[in-house]
Amino acid sequence: MARPHHPAFDKTKVVAENRRARYDYYIDDTVEAGICLTGTEVKSLRFGEGSIAESYAEVKNGEVWLINSNVPEFSHGNRNNHVPKRPRKLLLKEREIARFTGAVERKGMTLVPLSVYFNSRGRAKVELALAKGKNVADKRATSKERDWKRDQARIMRDHK
């Protein structure tokens, strides 16, 4: 019997967040993925360094790879330090990979990392989203709606 999936991910320490992703994309589905890291990469992430601002994920040969993510070199590392912008393998179940592959190929969607964090067990995880890009008019409408919600909250607060 399969374990039930929890709706919220257990994020104890968020290292990097892609805030622009929710503005640039319609987020369809999110999944938690493990990430293959070397020792110095884990140490660098534990210090709170790292960026996924312009990164994306792609499926190659039945595996999912995180491309263009930046984990800076560990300051106390030796000559065997890691390469900062290397592609990193994401750990997902085969069924999830197949679903992502189908969506990316047929529907023109993209895989966007939303955040990198450590869970309660101390494992580095990536929150990966299946997303569809917004055009300029959609972005304008989203910002207009966000501003209206803010004004609405202000009006309700002052009305009391």
**Block mean pLDDT (10 aa), the chain, length 160:** 62 85 86 88 84 88 90 74 83 90 83 90 89 84 89 87
Return the pLDDT at 78: 67
Q: Flag whether 128 is in a domain.
A: yes
pLDDT at position 5 is 57
Angle ∠(67,69,74) on CA atoms, nearest 5: 135
Number of folded domains in the chain?
1
Is the residue at 104 inside a domain? yes
Domain membership of residue 102 (yes or no) is: yes
Does 43 reside within a domain? yes
Query: Does residue 160 sit within a domain?
Result: no
Structure tokens at 101: 């592959």
Answer whether residue 154 is part of any domain: no
State how beta strands 63-67 and 88-91 pair.
antiparallel
Q: Where are the beta strands (DSSP E) in 11-157?
A: 13-17, 25-35, 56-60, 63-67, 88-91, 110-118, 124-133
pLDDT score at 127: 92
Q: What is the pLDDT of residue 35?
A: 92
Q: Which residue has the tokens 């990097």?
A: 16
Q: What is the CATH number of the domain that holds 86?
A: 2.40.280.10
What pLDDT is stored for residue 27 in this prediction? 87
- How many whole angstroms separate alpha carbon 5 and alpha carbon 124? 18
Q: Is residue 79 part of a domain?
A: yes
The pLDDT assigned to 2 comes to: 60
Provide the domain limits for residue 71. Answer: 13-133
Decide if 131 contacts 119 (C-beta within 8 A). no
* Residue 54: inside a domain: yes
